[in-house]
């Protein structure tokens, strides 16, 4: 009984010493922070005692209207210290003073009560331009978005200019260009025309039904695949590649040679740009999913297949460069009249691989910019015994050559470093390896050598009984 009482008394004494040591260390830290001109990180209880100073002093004036005015800038003041330059009710505003926030119209969204938070901004330069530490904590704009903080700021774009890659899905939207061109239109294969004679006697012999007839378009002459049309008494007449005026003169010459006196012919195009219209028809989805477009996926060789121009290499091109390339292909083959707009409808999937001492190793899709610590979080955090000082990232460069670098994430993941220099951005196909610590490696060696090795071959049982240790 005496021994147990002595042990209990010893334990209580050790605990008391630990509490006193912790209290002394906290007080020493506060004194050292004040002596160096810095304020320690404010706790929740400290923030409850913080006094605010507003740039708009009318907001603190009790003589203002019931609605008050908007809140201005504020700063943190140590408890018990007056606010310099602000006097309300004949005394300085400081610890113990109570003032209400200005009222606002219930129809409006009331501004949140301002809070000041101490923290570290990693873009700033610490003492002697070193990496900022927790001891460099200062007021930072933490809740500038208030209740809308989840929206976040409008950050810079992920990449300056996106370039197409393998497995991207592209939508090509086709549109007939109705702009006026400087070049005279030339007839092509598949176009439909009407040939009419102006002379009354000639018209009775050669004219088809008049233009106002309901069958005017159906009775028009279609330019055949060989580029000719068939006319009465003169047979085959070349038409493809001719302008309307040139084709009219060609017909008049043919009929003059056939014995017709002073023929006067008028050629009226009924359907033009037939090859381009055929392309539009091939991608017409207005009676299905809608629109005039084509959805294609970039092949492993980096190309896409488009109607009328076959294969187009798109790997590494921007969307604007791709548009110029496709439109130039159509222009060279079919001439003016077609606009093609590529649209990125789905990006190729991007993955990172996290393995080693993590809870759920595996492959994870990159849905946005991702860092090394975020990759560890995706894998369910690290296991006990992970060697966080030697996290390895493997990467392939543009020529598929392997690169690797080692990161020290231990201080950051343990909350001891606010601005870790090794918190890098990851990219597609990066491999993040969280290795085992030396203790785990030694434990594995013992397991393999002794438990599974020697003891597995020569089974041996040992027992050690702890008896009355008071005899020692």
Return per-residue pLDDT of the chain as tens, 472 residues: 555 555 555 555 555 555 555 555 544 444 444 444 443 443 433 433 333 333 333 333 444 333 333 333 434 444 434 434 333 334 443 333 344 444 555 555 555 555 677 888 887 665 566 778 888 888 887 776 666 666 777 777 788 889 999 999 999 999 888 777 788 888 988 899 988 887 777 766 666 555 444 444 446 888 999 999 988 888 899 999 899 999 999 988 888 888 888 888 888 888 888 888 888 888 887 666 656 788 899 999 999 999 888 899 999 999 999 999 999 999 888 888 888 999 999 999 999 999 999 999 999 999 888 999 999 999 999 999 999 999 999 999 988 899 999 999 999 999 999 989 899 999 999 999 999 999 988 888 888 877 776 666 666 665 555 455 454 4
Q: β-pairing, 431-434 with 351-356? A: parallel
Could you tell me which of 429, 423, 425 has the C-alpha nearest to residue 409? 423
CB 381 within 8 A of CB 374: no
CB 353 within 8 A of CB 430: yes
Which residues, other chains included, contact 133 with Cβ-Cβ below 8 Å and sequence gap of 6+? 120, 126, 417, 418
The rounded distance, in Å, linking the Cα atoms of 321 and 342 is 10
The rounded distance, in Å, linking the Cα atoms of 129 and 133 is 11
Structure tokens at 435: 């290795």
The rounded distance, in Å, linking the Cα atoms of 69 and 72 is 9
Could you tell me which of 207, 210, 214, 241 has the C-alpha nearest to residue 226? 241
CATH topology (fold) of 192-271: wza like fold (3.30.1950)
- 351-439: what CATH class? alpha beta
Measuring CA to CA, how many Å separate 73 from each of 57, 112, 193, 412, 469?
10, 13, 77, 32, 69
Angle between helical axes of 319-334 and 274-282 (0-180°, round to 10): 140
Residue 383 backbone zone (phi > 0: left; psi -120 to 50: alpha; other: beta): beta
CATH code of 169-180+276-346, in short, is 3.30.1950.10
* Long-range contacts, 255-263 (Cβ 8 Å, 24+): 258/233, 258/234, 260/202, 260/233, 262/199, 263/197, 263/199, 263/202
The rounded distance, in Å, linking the Cα atoms of 22 and 28 is 10
Measuring CA to CA, how many Å separate 390 from each of 11, 422, 443?
39, 11, 18
Structure confidence by residue, pLDDT tens digits, 418-465: 989 899 999 999 999 999 999 988 888 888 877 776 666 666 665 555
Could you tell me which of 81, 89, 20, 86 has the C-alpha nearest to residue 46? 81
Backbone phi, psi, residue 97, to 5°: -80, 145
SS3 330: helix
Q: Where are the beta strands (DSSP E) in 302-390?
A: 303-306, 310-313, 338-346, 351-356, 362-365
**pTM for the whole thing?**
0.59
The rounded distance, in Å, linking the Cα atoms of 302 and 389 is 40
């Amino acid at each position: 009984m005496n021994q147990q009482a002595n042990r209990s008394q010893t334990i209580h004494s050790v605990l008391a010493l630990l509490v006193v040591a912790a209290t002394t260390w906290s007080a020493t830290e506060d004194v050292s922070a004040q002596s160096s001109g810095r304020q320690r990180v404010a706790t929740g209880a400290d923030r409850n005692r913080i006094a605010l100073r507003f740039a708009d002093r009318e907001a603190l004036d009790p003589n203002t209207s019931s609605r008050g005015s908007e809140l201005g800038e504020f700063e943190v003041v140590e408890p018990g210290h007056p606010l310099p330059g602000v006097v309300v009710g004949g005394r300085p505003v400081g610890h113990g003073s109570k003032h209400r926030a200005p009222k606002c119209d219930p129809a409006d969204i009331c501004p949140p009560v301002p809070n000041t938070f101490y923290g570290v901004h990693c873009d700033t330069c610490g003492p002697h331009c070193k990496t900022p530490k927790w001891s460099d904590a200062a007021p930072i704009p933490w809740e500038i978005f208030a209740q809308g903080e989840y929206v976040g700021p409008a950050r810079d774009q992920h990449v300056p200019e996106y370039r197409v890659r393998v497995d991207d899905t592209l939508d090509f939207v086709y549109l007939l260009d109705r702009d006026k061109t400087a070049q005279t239109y030339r007839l092509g294969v598949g176009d439909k025309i009407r040939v009419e004679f102006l002379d009354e006697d000639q018209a009775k012999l050669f004219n088809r039904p008049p233009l106002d007839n309901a069958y005017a378009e159906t009775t028009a002459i279609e330019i055949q695949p060989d580029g000719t049309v068939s006319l009465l008494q003169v047979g085959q007449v070349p038409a493809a590649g001719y302008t309307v005026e040139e084709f009219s003169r060609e017909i008049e010459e043919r009929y003059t040679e056939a014995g017709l006196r002073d023929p006067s012919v008028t050629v009226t195009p009924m359907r033009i740009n037939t090859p381009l219209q055929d392309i539009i028809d091939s991608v017409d989805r207005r009676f299905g999913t809608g629109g005039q477009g084509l959805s294609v996926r970039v092949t492993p060789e980096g190309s896409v297949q488009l109607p009328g121009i076959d294969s187009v290499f798109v790997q590494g091109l921007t969307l604007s460069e791709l548009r110029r390339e496709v439109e130039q292909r159509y222009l060279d083959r079919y001439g003016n009249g077609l606009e093609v707009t590529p649209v990125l409808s789905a990006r190729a999937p991007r993955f990172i691989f996290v393995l080693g001492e993590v809870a759920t190793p595996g492959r994870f899709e990159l849905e946005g910019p991702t860092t090394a610590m975020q990759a560890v979080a995706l894998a369910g955090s690290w296991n006990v015994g992970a060697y966080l000082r030697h996290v390895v990232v493997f990467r392939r460069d543009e020529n598929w050559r392997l690169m690797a670098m080692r990161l020290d994430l231990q201080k950051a993941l343990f909350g001891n470093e606010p601005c870790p220099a090794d918190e890098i951005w990851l990219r597609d196909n990066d491999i993040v390896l969280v290795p085992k610590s030396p203790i785990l490696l030694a434990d594995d060696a013992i397991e393999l050598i002794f438990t599974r090795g020697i003891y597995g071959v020569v089974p041996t049982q040992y027992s050690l009984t702890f008896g009355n240790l008071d005899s020692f």
